[in-house]
Amino acid sequence: MAYWLMKSEPDEVSIDDVLAAPARTVAWFGVRNYQARNFMRDAMREGDLVLFYHSSCAEPGIAGIVQVCSPAYPDATQFDPASPYHDPKATPEQPRWIGVDVRALRKTALLSLKELRTVPALAGMRLLAKGSRLSVMPVEPHEWHAIEALLGQP
DNA sequence: GCCAACGTTGGC
DNA sequence: GCCAACGTTGGC
């Protein structure tokens, strides 16, 4: 089992939105970066645990924990001309973008980006690297455990 | 295959 | 709204 971090703008989909969704499950769509896509396609598996990160908001940080609950499958928005995520070069026969379903496990007290930067064990975290802007990225087990300790018990 | 121009991300 | 960093595009 692997650990991940996925970014979402809470104005679009917040951890509360995932918790409120049917079966606490939403489709993760709109990833349009090859590196992020390849992580989902090649390395992500059902059951993997994911830090749910709120980005582009007043207080960015980790807001909850979700779990991958489907295999990767084509992201329907790429075929929809009305969608902002439309990709004219993608066809159902040759899809370019994929997503997964995630189920909310719990909401946490917000662990802010500012706090994350102060934790020595997290100094090497990809999220914290200069210029890092991947929306889907792996989390090392030791990083996961350090964060879990900071998040406290459910 | 290089690289300049452009677009996007995301913290501040 | 600004802007640094990075990714993508497309002419050559």
Residue A128's CATH number: 3.10.590.10
The answer to whether the beta carbons of residues A34 and A61 sit under 8 Å apart is no
Distance between the alpha carbon (CA) of A78 and the C1' atom of C9, Å: 19
Give Cα A106 to chain centroid, integer Å.
Answer: 14
**Could you give the CA distance from residue A19 to residue A63 in angstroms, rounded to a whole number?**
12
pLDDT of residue A82: 87
Q: Which nucleotide is nearest to A56 (CA to C1')?
A: B10
CB of A55 within 7 Å of some strand B atom: yes
What pLDDT shows up at residue A152?
75
Exposure of A140 in the CB half-sphere (CA atoms within 13 A) = 10
Q: Name the residue among A149, A152, A108, A142 with its Cα closest to residue A122.
A: A142
**Shortest CA to C1' contact from A117: nucleotide:** B11
pLDDT computed for residue A9 by the predictor: 96
Residues with pLDDT less than 70, chain A: 153-154
Domain containing A78 equals: 3-151
* d(CA A153, C1' B7) / Å: 42
- Number of domains within chain A: 1
pLDDT at A153: 67
Check residue A154 and give its pLDDT.
Answer: 64
Any strand B atom closer than 7 Å to A133 CB: yes
